[in-house]
């Protein structure tokens, strides 16, 4: 079981985001995330969950309030360390580079010993089940395999905080379930903090230690749900009564959007 009782690593402090078009993406979001937690941002399209993730990555700035990661502004932290990695919905691999070279790329950009970078890339590729595909090109891989490469690329620098924006949304259900379990195993083994964006209630309950339910109404945080299901999690848990209770609870807050601070 992953210990999720660590120090505060991410803090949203009364964060609001209003775009130039007048669209309110986030409204007064205030909560913190502890080291080692697996947090899912759950909500419908357009509710601000990806905006929240991009703020943690330093890719968006708040209109008011702010986000801190390890007590620092995200942009400052990224300049100083390799602590944050981002996995997008699309794998975004370079088609002219092999699997191994795609994973090495962020390590190359940071410099260091090429031999050590290559070994680090091989280790994470083995971790995601691609040890026999080092020399393959993205066009030769399935969608699920390309996503594995994207995850491996993010893990290569051994980040403390892994940000994932609906990485499995475009995959078929069988592949999605396989990667859910692989991701969960990586999280338990590496003891990193994961922020995961999804609109799938079952996925959120299966993977998360805590779910941040976002309301479609002006990007508000409707509820924080502590998912007190036992570890390790398995796909078979989806048929159990307690699992169903969390699905029902999260679905209720998605539907009604009533603001509550923390549940569970």
- Digit-by-digit pLDDT tens for the chain (264 residues) are 454 557 999 999 999 999 888 888 999 999 999 999 999 999 888 888 999 999 999 999 999 999 999 999 998 888 878 789 999 988 999 999 999 999 999 888 777 778 888 999 999 999 898 989 999 999 999 999 999 999 999 998 889 999 999 999 888 999 999 999 999 989 988 889 999 999 999 999 999 999 999 987 678 899 999 999 998 899 999 999 999 999 999 999 888 765 555 555
Distance between CA atoms of residues 153 and 156, nearest Å: 5
Quote the tokens at residue 131: 């040890």
pLDDT attached to residue 1: 47
CA distance readout (Å), 13 to 26, 27, 256: 12, 11, 24
Q: What is the pTM of this model?
A: 0.91
Tokens coding 229: 């299901």
Q: Please work out, in degrees rounded to the nearest 5, the angle formed at the alpha carbon of residue 233 by the alpha carbons of 236 and 258.
A: 95
Which two tokens mark 62?
A: 């708040």
How far is the CA of 17 from the CAs of 13, 66, 74, 245, in angstroms?
A: 12, 10, 16, 32
CB neighbourhood size of 113 (10 A) = 10
Question: CB neighbours (10 Å) of residue 8?
Answer: 13
Strands (E), 128-172: 161-165
């Amino acid at each position: 079981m992953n210990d999720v009782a660590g120090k505060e690593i991410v803090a949203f402090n009364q964060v609001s985001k209003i775009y130039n078009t007048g669209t309110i993406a986030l409204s007064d979001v205030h909560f913190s995330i502890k080291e080692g937690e697996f947090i899912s941002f759950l909500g419908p399209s357009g509710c601000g969950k990806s905006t929240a993730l991009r703020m943690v990555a330093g890719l968006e700035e708040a209109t008011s309030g702010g986000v801190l990661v390890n007590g620092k502004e995200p942009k400052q932290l990224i300049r100083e360390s390799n602590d944050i990695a981002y996995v997008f919905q699309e794998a975004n691999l370079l088609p002219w580079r092999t699997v191994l070279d795609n994973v090495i790329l962020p390590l190359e950009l940071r410099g260091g010993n090429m031999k050590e970078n290559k070994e680090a890339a091989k280790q994470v590729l083995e971790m995601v089940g691609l040890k026999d595909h080092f020399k393959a090109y993205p066009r030769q891989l399935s969608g699920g395999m390309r996503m594995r490469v994207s995850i491996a690329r993010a893990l290569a620098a051994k980040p403390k905080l892994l940000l994932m924006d609906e990485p499995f949304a475009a995959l078929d259900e069988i592949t999605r379930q396989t990667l859910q379990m692989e991701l969960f195993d990586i999280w338990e083994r590496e003891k990193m903090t994961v922020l995961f964006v999804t609109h799938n209630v079952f996925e959120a309950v299966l993977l998360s230690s805590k779910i941040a339910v976002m309301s479609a109404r002006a990007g508000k945080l409707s509820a924080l749900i502590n998912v007190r299901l036992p570890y390790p999690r398995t796909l078979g848990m989806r048929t159990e009564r307690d699992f169903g209770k969390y699905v029902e609870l999260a679905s209720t807050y998605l539907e009604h959007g009533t603001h509550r601070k923390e549940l569970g």
